[in-house]
Amino acid sequence: MSKLMNEPNPTLKSGVSGWVLNEMSRLRRRLSLILPFIPVAAGDRSFGQQRYKKNGFSIIEGTVAIVILIIGLLAVIQLFPFALRIIGDSQNLTTASNIALAKIEEISSMGYDNINTGTIETKQRVSSDPNIYLYNYQRQTTVEYVDSDFDSSPTDVGFKKITVTVFWQSPIGSTEKSIEINSLVSNY
């Protein structure tokens, strides 16, 4: 002990009181490994910084992150049914357009003189079999004379306008939707 006190040591504070403080600090560090609730002295800052060093997430931080993730996922999941209804409505529109175009092609292929004017087909189901997907669609077809300005005309001036309207139930809002497609047939 006299050897430590007589020789200058850069790690020790000046005199006996410095040596005592260093020894007490070392003892406190060793005891804190066994008993972590021993208070840290005000002058021993390096020890306190090591003791309270963070190396990861706390349970609260992890819980908050999981809650935020779940809320985000629920918001995205709620968009899927609506998106599927929009896709279904687009498919219905495409099918209705194809039904109307098929009827226009059928009538146009008959030739100008064989196409009667008036209501060709009243609003009725495209298919009478409920097992076929076309059962949900209704079609109405009319043919009328038109003049050179494409306005309705009571007399034949060489143009007939074919109008096909297809109706279906929309999956969005459960309302009836329709599409109307027109085509001109000329006598020339």
Cβ proximity of 161 and 146 under 8 Å: yes
User: And the tokens for 160?
Assistant: 């007939």
Q: What pLDDT shows up at residue 49? A: 47
**Which of 27-36, 41-50, 83-92, 112-121 has the least mean pLDDT?**
41-50
CB atoms within 10 A of CB 51: 12
**Alpha-carbon gap, residue 60 to 70, rounded angstroms:** 15
pTM higher than 0.85 for the full model? Answer: no
Q: What pLDDT shows up at residue 15? A: 57
Domain spans, the chain = 2-53, 60-186
pLDDT in tens, 129-181: 999 989 999 999 999 999 888 888 888 888 999 999 999 988 777 789 999 99
